[in-house]
Amino acid sequence: MNEKAKPTDTGITIDLTGPGGNANNLLGAVKTLGRQLSMGDSKITDIRDRMKSSNYEHLVDVFDEEFGEYVTLLR
């Protein structure tokens, strides 16, 4: 995970306004979290492809849709 992603008692918090909230870090978090959640490689690839299919807001929306249960995104 990155320096702005920190475990809390309710999961992980990522500050989107800091360097931890950039697109590359979020895409990397998909790999890390996906593996921790026992998602297959094809599911992880699908999520990352959907995230990259549009702009940054879309990327964040897809990430939140897939991992919102485990990750709190601060805006």
Q: How many H-runs (helices) and E-runs (strands) does the chain carry?
A: 3, 3
- pLDDT above 70: residue 7: no
The pLDDT assigned to 10 comes to 57
Distance CA 13, CA 71 (A): 6
The pLDDT assigned to 30 comes to 98
Beta bridge partners of 14: 5, 73
User: Are 49 and 15 spatial neighbours (Cβ–Cβ below 8 Å)?
Assistant: no
Domain boundaries along the sequence of the chain: 5-74
Q: Write the pLDDT tens digit of every residue in 8-66.
A: 455 799 999 999 999 999 999 999 999 999 999 999 999 999 999 999 999 999 999 99
The pLDDT assigned to 1 comes to 43
**Residue 52, CA distances (Å) to 8, 26, 45 in order:** 28, 11, 11
